[in-house]
Amino acid sequence: MNLKVLLGVFWSVFLAELGDKTQIATFCFASQKGLKPGGVFLAAASALAISSLLSSFLGAQFSLGGDLRRDRHMDLTRVKVTGERWSKTGCA
């Protein structure tokens, strides 16, 4: 996989996650007395890594049954922001 694609995925996910529920929940946990910021970070990062791994795996499995991508690119930001659903032909 080339670096341009990896950077595109990174920045798309990074920008989509800014101000997301996950970030707000992490902020709230870290602000509680008795919880160490490093521990909250490790727990939140682990949860995000596992959910991303699951999403990547499921996306690859769905692509075996039909092309879910339009023009070979998934517009995940639009799906996340507008709440559109995926169909066998792409965003519905």
83 is a domain residue: no
36 is a domain residue: yes
Residue pLDDT, tens place only, 62-77: 777 655 555 445 555 5
**Whether 79 contacts 86, CB under 8 Å:** yes
Total count of domains within the chain: 1
Asked if the model's pLDDT at residue 86 lies above 60, the reply is no
Name the residue with tokens 């990062």.
45
Average of pLDDT values for 3-29?
89
77 is a domain residue: no
CA distance 12 to 76: 8
44 is a domain residue: yes
Name the residue with tokens 């690859």.
60
72 is a domain residue: no
Secondary structure letter of residue 29 according to DSSP: H
Query: Whole domain around residue 47: which residue ranges?
Result: 3-66
H or E element that contains 91: strand 90-91
71 is a domain residue: no
48 is a domain residue: yes
List, as one string, the DSSP characters of 35-83. Answer: --HHHHHHHHHHHHHHHHHHHHHHHHHHHHHS--SBTTB--HHHHHHH-
91 is a domain residue: no
